[in-house]
Amino acid sequence: MSDTELAQARVRQLTTLTLRLTERLKGETAAFADGRPQDVAAGLSETQEMANLYRRDSAHVKANPALLSGAPLEDRRTLVDATREFDAVLTRHSRAVDAARQISEGLVRAIAAEVTAARTPASAYAADGRASLGDGRAVALNRMA
């Protein structure tokens, strides 16, 4: 295989990966917008795998631009266009994920507040033997999403 053919194959492979990942993120963004985050969860591992592959390959090309320089100009332009679309879709996807996270955290906080308000005060004793007026039980929230 010649250097030109190898560069062309690399460009086309990266373009295909970029387009597939872009379509996947579009679908996930639509699922968030439609209130179906469970649809995203089902394919999360595949999306992460594709994203890791994209990150690795694009970093490799960024560090070694000569890997693609021998590819035909039209193939390189197609990759540039696909990358621009991917960046735009990634920005929208990131906003959707952040909004879903904020909504989820807000729901957890509201539920925790309701549970705390509905509890009957526990009868605990302070160090001096008198009944404690506060609820000694705690509600723990995990802030990691």
Q: Which two tokens stand for residue 7?
A: 């560069």
Who contacts 143 (Cβ-Cβ below 8 Å, separation ≥6)? 105
Decide if 14 contacts 58 (C-beta within 8 A). Answer: yes
State the average pLDDT for the chain: 86
pTM for this model (two decimals): 0.73
pLDDT value of position 107: 87
Length of the chain: 145
pLDDT tens, residue by residue, 7-58:
999 999 999 999 999 999 999 999 988 888 888 888 889 999 999 999 999 9
Burial per residue of 51-64, b for 16 or more beta-carbon CB atoms within 10 angstroms, e otherwise:
eeebeebeeebeee
Which helix (H) or strand (E) element contains residue 131? strand 131-132
